[in-house]
Amino acid sequence: IKATVTEITKNFIVVDCKAKMEGMIPIEEFSTTEKELDKLKVGSQVEVFLDRIESFKGEIIVSRDKARKIKAYNKMKEKFEKQEEVTGYITGKVKGGYVANVEGLPCFMPSSQIDVRPLKKVDHLMNVPIKMLATRLDAQRGNICVSRRAVIIKSKSAEVAEVLKNLKKGDIVDNAIVKATTDWG
């Protein structure tokens, strides 16, 4: 829901959700990477998630972080259905793969999906923008699997198709490089 900022305190952002009471959001839920907190002022509109209404007083629990994640999940679901590329960052290593952050949404990237060949070190790929493709989306559990390998294969096959489009049977090719020799040729 849309909420209006009514007060900014040291630890909380107080928002009016057009309910009986105002909601209080911890200041940590506002992104520091996007400088969202610096742009925030009294009267600003923010999207929040109405978590629940609690107690006999009717206090409401709202979350900025959940609203951001739900919005990112819906966007990712749309990209998954259209098979479009997304940009994300590999932020850490877990058992069996890596954690990739796509617009604030944590996704799982299996070790086999980071490159076409197995990589010994992935330090050069940590915290840099990487093109990925969502390969699996589990709505019930909220799990998303992404693959960098799919993007690499897609771009290589496009390059090969472009080269083959210009070649015809019987053409003479200059500047060819011998990659390997075998006993049969």
Question: What length is written for the chain?
Answer: 185
Which pLDDT score is estimated for 58?
66
The token pair that represents 27 in the structure block: 């200041």
DSSP letters, the chain, are: -EEEEEEE-SSEEEEE-SSSS-EEEEGGGS-TTTTHHHH--TT-EEE-EEEEEETTTTEEEEEHHHHHHHHHHHHHHHHHHHT-EEEEEEEEEETTEEEEEETTEEEEEEGGGS-SS--S--GGGBTS-EEEEEEEEETTTTEEEEESHHHHHHHHHHHHHHHHHH--TT---SS-------TT-
* Average predicted confidence (pLDDT) for the chain: 83
Per-residue pLDDT at 33 exceeds 70: no
Share of the chain above pLDDT 90, in %: 8
Which pLDDT score is estimated for 131?
92
Per-residue pLDDT at 32 exceeds 60: no
CA gap 29, 64 in Å, rounded: 6
Q: What is the pLDDT of residues 38-69, one digit of tens each?
A: 778 888 888 888 877 775 666 777 888 888 88
